[in-house]
Amino acid sequence: MISWAEVAIPRISATHAFSPLRLKSTATNTLVELPVDRDIRMYVCGITPYDSTHLGHAATYIAFDLVNRYIRSSGQKMHFVENITDIDDPLLVRAKRDNVSWQSLATSQIELFRGDMTDLHVIPPQNFIGAVESIPLVVDAVAVMKKRGAVYELEDDLYFRVNSDEKFGTRSHLTKENMIGIARERGGDPDRSGKEDPLDALLWMQQKPDEPGWPSPYGTGRPGWHIECCAIALHYLPNSKEDAYCVDIQGGGNDLQFPHHEIGASQARILGGKDFARIYMHAGMIGLDGEKMSKSKGNLVLVSTLVSQGTDPMAIRLALLTGHYSHDRMWDSQLLSDAQTLLVRLRSCLSREEVATTSSVVATIIALLANDLDTPGVIEKLKQWCEETEAGAIGGSAGELSRALDALLGIAF
């Protein structure tokens, strides 16, 4: 699948030192340091293309864009893979409701998503892989899992035995009862009769009437949700025997922590023979005016709508950076207004011939980002710099700070 246009990253002066990036892993609730002596491998779960791109999506992909930017600016290479779930039950339901084909719905929403990511200055993945194009990978992965005793058949569907991985459940820290309840809410089928364990996950489902299907050794059908990401990640982010983990970062919204990332990690352990991710990084949810933002409530704020109304995409990005990526937080008109004001203020200050010192500001920004992407701290530092510049302080380089904000924060002036 075609990604979106590449984004240029300005070079930051070699005088600035980059500490190893530390990110909170929800699997351990600790800050984990990324390696500095090799390339970094990051897999981020993408959208299901039927309501894109809302601000929750935007916040998530901006968070992982910050990781990408830090790693690249430090001189390391990043191999970034993102999927897109272009066949799934919610997509089929929405297509039927709107009386359109699922293919045309997915195509239009994916194109909208590409445009929104371009507007928001998000660096594209090297591999942008659709679930449909991953089906051959899934078929091969299921064959390996069958040989290893991790698969059973139920009424022509194939299921993954979660208990085939002794570490199942250790990444999400939930009780079995809570797991079952969450699985029920998030696309699982814990109440299906005949399953060995309520949490066992579909690997391959037989084709249903009026739904698409693809031929396979297991019958005509389509993959389950979790195995798609697992197969894509293992194929496009190969690791060596010396690597302790399959990937360095598994990312997504915090609603994916269970069941999606937990089950995907267990499947990857069966296939790869090692723990899946060094860091499980999860972005918080975005609410609207005090309520959870959701498709079911119909209170989604779309990036494309804001942009069509004349909102500067950089103001949207800046507004989302005012909160910490890992926290659930609210969106309202005041947040956007404040971000627009700060953006205008920054542009005004950066257009001056004389500005307050910038070298120490860039160093502070790098240090704050190195500590689990502390963007609220960065925003406060920028406000302080604006105050000093407006008060007449000199000794800095507007170009130096402008390049750093573009490279590290993705805020282009």
Please name the residues in contact with 370: beta carbons below 8 A apart, sequence gap of 6 or more.
18, 19, 20, 21, 22, 70
Q: In this predicted structure, which of 27-41, 70-84, 166-180, 284-298 has the lowest mean pLDDT?
A: 284-298
- pLDDT tens, position by position, 373-402: 999 999 999 999 999 999 999 999 999 999
Question: Which residues in 66-125 belong to E strands, given as ranges?
Answer: 78-84
Answer yes or no: do 74 and 172 share one domain. yes
pLDDT at residue 52 in the model: 81
Answer yes or no: do 259 and 138 share one domain. yes
Answer yes or no: do 218 and 360 share one domain. no
State which of 291, 306, 321 marks the end of a domain: 306
Per-residue pLDDT at 289 exceeds 90:
no
Residue 328 three-state SS: coil
From the CB of residue 156, how many other CB atoms can be counted at a distance below 10 Å?
A: 12
Q: Does 9 reside within a domain? A: no
C-alpha 47/C-alpha 113 separation (Å) is 9
**Total count of domains within the chain:** 2
Q: Check which CATH number belongs to the domain holding 34 and give it.
A: 3.40.50.620
- pLDDT tens, position by position, 144-153: 999 999 999 9
Q: Does 313 reside within a domain? A: no
pLDDT at residue 126 in the model: 98
Mean pLDDT throughout 178-198? 97
Q: Does 317 reside within a domain? A: no
State which of 287, 306, 325 marks the end of a domain: 306
Token pair of 361 as six digits: 């500001």
Mean pLDDT throughout 309-314? 98
Residue 125 carries which DSSP code?
A: P
pLDDT at residue 299 in the model: 85
Q: Does 10 reside within a domain? A: no
Q: Does 7 reside within a domain? A: no
- pLDDT band with cut points at 50, 70 and 90 for residue 40: very high
Q: Which domain holds residue 289?
A: 22-306
C-alpha 323/C-alpha 329 separation (Å) is 7
Looking at every residue in the chain, the average pLDDT score rounds to 96
Task: Tell me the C-alpha to C-alpha distance, in Å, between residue 396 and each of 6, 355, 393, 408, 411.
Answer: 30, 5, 9, 18, 19
DSSP assignment of 303-323, as one string? HHHHHHTT--HHHHHHHHHTS
Q: Check which CATH number belongs to the domain holding 337 and give it.
A: 1.20.120.640
Q: Does 277 reside within a domain? A: yes
C-alpha 144/C-alpha 134 separation (Å) is 16
C-alpha 37/C-alpha 296 separation (Å) is 45
pLDDT at residue 174 in the model: 97
C-alpha 382/C-alpha 349 separation (Å) is 11
C-alpha 281/C-alpha 24 separation (Å) is 6
Q: Does 274 reside within a domain? A: yes
- pLDDT band with cut points at 50, 70 and 90 for residue 296: low
pLDDT at residue 295 in the model: 67
DSSP assignment of 378-410, as one string? HHHHHHHHHHHHHTT--B--HHHHHHHIIIII-
Q: Does 376 reside within a domain? A: yes
Answer yes or no: do 137 and 263 share one domain. yes
Per-residue pLDDT at 157 exceeds 80:
yes
Percent of the chain whose predicted confidence (pLDDT) is above 90: 94
Per-residue pLDDT at 292 exceeds 90:
no
Phi, psi (degrees; rounded to nearest 5) at 31: -80, 130
Answer yes or no: do 174 and 60 share one domain. yes
Angle, CA 174 vertex, CA 172 and CA 177 arms, to 5°: 140
Answer yes or no: do 166 and 260 share one domain. yes
- 389: burial class by Cβ within 10 Å (0-12, 13-18, 19+)? buried
Per-residue pLDDT at 278 exceeds 90:
yes
The full length of the chain comes to: 413
Per-residue pLDDT at 44 exceeds 80:
yes
